[in-house]
Amino acid sequence: MTGTTVLLLDAAGPESAALARAAAARGHQVHAATAAERPAPAPNLAGRVVTDFARPDRAVEDITAYARRRGVEAVLTANEYLTETAALVCAELGLPGNDPHLAHAARDKAAMASVLTAAGVHVPCTRLVHDDAELHDALTDPVVGSPCVIKPIGGAGSAGVTVVTSPAQAAAAADTAREARSRYDRGATGVLVQAYAAGAEYSVESVTQEGVTTHLAVTRKAVTGGVRRVETGHSLPARVPPATETALHRQVGAAIRAVGIRHGASHTEVVIAPDGRCTVLEIAARLGAGHIGILLQHALGIDIFAALVDVALGRPAALAPTAHGHATVRFVTAPCAGRLTSVAGFPKPGPGVPFVRWRAAIGSPVKAAGVNADRLGAFVVTGPDAAEVEQRAELLARQIHVRVDAATPELCEPDQLNSASRPDIAP
């Protein structure tokens, strides 16, 4: 059963590249739909169609026409911004995909809050505001409370998200959220004001096939504090008390159904309060980014990329763990904004360190972490024992020295060494 044709929407990110590799390794012909400004990494692509994803109707037409010509049998994406387009294309072509009528609710966080609330999922109170009067109204709403979070409607990677602790910060935070709108959701108007959910951050990685969901793992996250929140580490599988896990799976299952995920991955971000109460921050109809796919592979032996290709083809996917280890990814961030002058001690791949990725060139401008895209690099540590893996990751992180010629030296840590990426992720 090889030789089928698979189409990826966007093939440029690491998860997309891994999907392309997995599909090619299974003998499939891999094609991609790409934006002109984001060319696909060419190696294993059999062909591509260039389209403008910012014009979704047009993109769906271009992609379905191309897919029909090429006899495409599966369409999938790892790109957060394209999950609705993927659902619409699958529906047009009659391929396994998510509910095209609900798919926008996994992209538009205002619609998401409505459908999740209606489905009985606990979410932070979310207000959509369009002007200063509505912003003021939301800030004084006792259900929103303080602190609160101001964010774009359809953002990703923490872009434009601000934790606001005083009303004086709100107008600037709303501007930041507005400016962060991506080229894919220019149509969205307004920004969101959301109640702050206090607690520890987790995500649940799930795969749904024919409407039946398998929860693969719970992931513990480390996130920077302060006004801008950036994920600095993920670890899985995270252990939570059985009652909490049951509640978590119930909430996440309801969220998956509510946003119409029927065939494919989902990544649901959740805050667990000290009393065990779960709040769903958001759900995405795609595999978790931040190398979570690699963690699943190394900790649990699940080839998630191959599995997702099978799911998209409507074939049974191998989702059962074949290993029972632990894996963590740590992200390296700059101590302050400036020009990157040197990096020392960044780990090399080897036993127990299956993956490393450095993105920032020496001499290039860097920023202190404000959004996920500011992260400079990442490394994965894996092994059979959770505590040992976390300790090793901790040790490796401490050996990394990032030096920056600071734009504003007083904002830099005294020794200009990297201090982030040392998250406290309890196994």
Nearest CB to ligand ATP, comparing residues 80 and 303: 80
33/50 Cα distance (integer angstroms)? 6
Minimum separation from the CB atom of position 284 to Mg ion (A): 8
Q: Which does 197 bind (CB under 5 to 8 A by kind): Mg ion, ligand ATP, none?
A: ligand ATP
Nearest CB to ligand ATP, comparing residues 176 and 416: 176
Specify the amino acid at residue 203. Answer: S
Distance from the Cα of residue 84 to its chain's centroid: 15
**Residue 35, token pair as written in the block:** 């934006």
Minimum separation from the CB atom of position 223 to ligand ATP (A): 4
Residue 65's CB is within 10 A of a number of other CB atoms, namely 13
100/251 Cα distance (integer angstroms)? 22
> Binding ligand ATP by CB under 6 A: which of 28, 31, 107, 229?
229
> Binding ligand ATP by CB under 6 A: which of 113, 159, 188, 393?
159
Comparing every residue's Cβ against ligand ATP, the nearest one is 229
* Residue 381 CB-half CA count within 13 A: 21
**Residue 70 backbone dihedrals phi, psi, to 5 degrees:** -95, 0
- SS3 (DSSP) at 65: helix
C-alpha separations of 51 from 15, 29, 57, 231 in Å: 20, 20, 11, 31
Please report whether residue 286 would count as binding ligand ATP according to CB under 6 A: no
289/153 Cα distance (integer angstroms)? 19
Binding mask 20-59 vs ligand ATP (x if CB under 6 A, - otherwise)? ----------------------------------------
Q: Which does 194 bind (CB under 5 to 8 A by kind): Mg ion, ligand ATP, none?
A: ligand ATP
How many residues sit close enough to Mg ion to count as binding (CB under 5 A)? 1
Please report whether residue 269 would count as binding Mg ion according to CB under 5 A: yes
99/243 Cα distance (integer angstroms)? 31
Asked whether 380 and 294 are in contact (CB, 8 A), the reply is yes
85/53 Cα distance (integer angstroms)? 8
Place of tokens 């290709």: 309
Taking CB under 6 A as the binding criterion, the range among 44-52, 195-203, 254-262, 355-363 that sits at the site for ligand ATP is 195-203
Nearest CB to ligand ATP, comparing residues 13 and 196: 196
Please report whether residue 15 would count as binding Mg ion according to CB under 5 A: no
> Binding ligand ATP by CB under 6 A: which of 15, 73, 282, 310?
282
Positions in 95-134 near ligand ATP (CB under 6 A)? 124
Please report whether residue 188 would count as binding ligand ATP according to CB under 6 A: no
280/292 Cα distance (integer angstroms)? 19
Q: Which does 372 bind (CB under 5 to 8 A by kind): ligand ATP, Mg ion, none?
A: ligand ATP
143/427 Cα distance (integer angstroms)? 33
426/382 Cα distance (integer angstroms)? 15
How many residues sit close enough to ligand ATP to count as binding (CB under 6 A)? 21
Nearest CB to ligand ATP, comparing residues 213 and 232: 232
Please report whether residue 205 would count as binding Mg ion according to CB under 5 A: no
Please report whether residue 155 would count as binding ligand ATP according to CB under 6 A: yes
Query: What stretch of H or E contains 70?
Result: helix 56-70
Minimum separation from the CB atom of position 192 to ligand ATP (A): 9
Binding mask 357-396 vs ligand ATP (x if CB under 6 A, - otherwise)? ---------------x------------------------
* Residue 224 CB-half CA count within 13 A: 26
Residues near ligand ATP, by CB under 6 A: 124, 149, 151, 155-159, 161, 194, 196-197, 201, 223, 229, 231, 269, 271, 281-282, 372
